[in-house]
Amino acid sequence: MSYQPPSGGYGPPTGGYGPPPGGFGGQPQPPAGGPPKNYLVHNILGIFGCTVIGIIGLIFSLQVNSKWQAGDYAGAEESAKVAKIMGIISLIGFILMIVLVVVYVLFFVVIFGVAMSSTPTTY
Protein backbone atom coordinates (compact mmCIF):
# COMPACT_ATOMS: atom_id res chain seq x y z
CA MET A 1 0.00 0.00 0.00
CA SER A 2 1.46 3.33 -1.00
CA TYR A 3 0.72 6.81 0.24
CA GLN A 4 -1.59 8.85 -1.97
CA PRO A 5 -1.89 12.64 -1.55
CA PRO A 6 -5.38 14.01 -0.96
CA SER A 7 -7.40 14.61 -4.06
CA GLY A 8 -7.19 18.43 -3.73
CA GLY A 9 -3.40 18.63 -3.82
CA TYR A 10 -1.35 20.43 -1.20
CA GLY A 11 -2.79 23.95 -1.64
CA PRO A 12 -5.41 25.64 0.50
CA PRO A 13 -8.77 23.98 0.70
CA THR A 14 -11.33 25.10 -1.80
CA GLY A 15 -14.85 26.19 -0.96
CA GLY A 16 -16.03 27.35 2.44
CA TYR A 17 -16.91 30.81 3.54
CA GLY A 18 -13.57 32.55 3.05
CA PRO A 19 -11.90 35.04 5.37
CA PRO A 20 -14.03 37.31 7.51
CA PRO A 21 -14.58 40.88 6.35
CA GLY A 22 -11.48 42.91 7.07
CA GLY A 23 -9.25 39.82 6.90
CA PHE A 24 -7.96 37.60 9.65
CA GLY A 25 -6.84 39.23 12.89
CA GLY A 26 -8.31 42.61 12.01
CA GLN A 27 -9.40 45.09 14.65
CA PRO A 28 -13.11 45.10 15.45
CA GLN A 29 -14.88 48.18 14.19
CA PRO A 30 -16.44 50.45 16.84
CA PRO A 31 -20.21 50.68 16.85
CA ALA A 32 -21.66 53.83 15.38
CA GLY A 33 -22.47 56.63 17.76
CA GLY A 34 -19.34 56.75 19.91
CA PRO A 35 -18.74 55.46 23.42
CA PRO A 36 -21.69 54.79 25.74
CA LYS A 37 -22.65 57.24 28.49
CA ASN A 38 -20.60 56.60 31.62
CA TYR A 39 -22.98 58.07 34.29
CA LEU A 40 -20.05 59.58 36.17
CA VAL A 41 -22.01 62.47 37.72
CA HIS A 42 -24.74 60.13 38.99
CA ASN A 43 -22.21 57.99 40.79
CA ILE A 44 -20.24 60.92 42.22
CA LEU A 45 -23.43 62.36 43.73
CA GLY A 46 -24.45 58.89 44.85
CA ILE A 47 -21.31 58.58 46.99
CA PHE A 48 -22.88 61.05 49.43
CA GLY A 49 -26.09 59.05 49.77
CA CYS A 50 -25.05 55.43 49.41
CA THR A 51 -21.29 55.32 49.77
CA VAL A 52 -20.45 51.70 48.92
CA ILE A 53 -22.78 51.48 45.92
CA GLY A 54 -21.63 54.92 44.74
CA ILE A 55 -17.98 53.86 44.83
CA ILE A 56 -18.71 50.64 42.96
CA GLY A 57 -20.64 52.60 40.35
CA LEU A 58 -17.82 55.14 40.12
CA ILE A 59 -15.33 52.37 39.38
CA PHE A 60 -17.52 51.04 36.57
CA SER A 61 -18.08 54.58 35.27
CA LEU A 62 -14.34 55.11 35.00
CA GLN A 63 -13.92 51.81 33.13
CA VAL A 64 -16.26 52.77 30.29
CA ASN A 65 -13.96 55.16 28.40
CA SER A 66 -10.79 53.14 29.02
CA LYS A 67 -12.39 49.95 27.70
CA TRP A 68 -13.72 51.83 24.69
CA GLN A 69 -10.26 53.23 23.91
CA ALA A 70 -8.74 49.76 24.25
CA GLY A 71 -11.21 48.35 21.71
CA ASP A 72 -13.27 46.33 24.18
CA TYR A 73 -16.61 47.66 22.94
CA ALA A 74 -18.72 44.93 24.54
CA GLY A 75 -16.93 45.46 27.86
CA ALA A 76 -17.54 49.20 27.66
CA GLU A 77 -21.25 48.61 27.05
CA GLU A 78 -21.43 46.20 29.99
CA SER A 79 -19.60 48.61 32.30
CA ALA A 80 -21.98 51.38 31.22
CA LYS A 81 -24.98 49.20 32.11
CA VAL A 82 -23.62 48.41 35.57
CA ALA A 83 -22.65 52.06 36.13
CA LYS A 84 -26.18 53.12 35.18
CA ILE A 85 -27.79 50.68 37.62
CA MET A 86 -25.42 51.64 40.45
CA GLY A 87 -25.88 55.33 39.64
CA ILE A 88 -29.66 55.06 39.87
CA ILE A 89 -29.51 53.16 43.16
CA SER A 90 -27.00 55.56 44.70
CA LEU A 91 -28.92 58.62 43.46
CA ILE A 92 -32.05 57.28 45.15
CA GLY A 93 -29.98 56.99 48.34
CA PHE A 94 -28.74 60.56 47.87
CA ILE A 95 -32.29 61.88 47.41
CA LEU A 96 -33.51 59.94 50.45
CA MET A 97 -30.65 61.39 52.50
CA ILE A 98 -31.61 64.94 51.48
CA VAL A 99 -35.26 64.28 52.34
CA LEU A 100 -34.32 62.86 55.75
CA VAL A 101 -32.11 65.87 56.53
CA VAL A 102 -34.94 68.25 55.59
CA VAL A 103 -37.41 66.30 57.76
CA TYR A 104 -34.89 66.29 60.62
CA VAL A 105 -34.39 70.06 60.44
CA LEU A 106 -38.14 70.70 60.17
CA PHE A 107 -38.75 68.50 63.19
CA PHE A 108 -36.42 70.59 65.33
CA VAL A 109 -37.83 73.86 63.98
CA VAL A 110 -41.35 72.74 64.90
CA ILE A 111 -40.26 71.50 68.34
CA PHE A 112 -38.38 74.73 69.01
CA GLY A 113 -41.39 76.78 67.82
CA VAL A 114 -43.76 74.88 70.09
CA ALA A 115 -41.40 75.28 73.03
CA MET A 116 -41.08 79.02 72.46
CA SER A 117 -44.81 79.60 72.03
CA SER A 118 -45.90 77.84 75.18
CA THR A 119 -46.27 79.89 78.32
CA PRO A 120 -44.12 78.91 81.24
CA THR A 121 -45.90 77.63 84.25
CA THR A 122 -44.81 78.49 87.73
CA TYR A 123 -45.54 76.37 90.76
pLDDT digits (tens, 9 = 90+) for 61-86: 999 999 999 989 999 999 999 999 99
Q: Show the low-confidence residues of the chain (pLDDT under 70).
A: 1-16, 18-28
- Per-residue CA distances from 73 to 25, 64, 88 (Å): 16, 9, 23
pLDDT value at residue 24: 61
Residue 50 lies in a domain: yes
Number of domains the chain contains: 1
pLDDT of residue 7: 62
Looking at the domain assignment, is residue 1 inside a domain?
A: no
Q: Quick check: is 90 in a domain?
A: yes
Domain-embedded: residue 102: yes
Residue 54 lies in a domain: yes
17 within a domain of the structure (yes/no): no
What pTM was estimated for this model as a whole?
Answer: 0.63
Residue 49, domain member (yes or no): yes
Residue 80 in domain: yes
Question: Could you tell me the residue range of the domain that residue 48 belongs to?
Answer: 40-116
Please report the pLDDT score of residue 5 as a whole number: 59
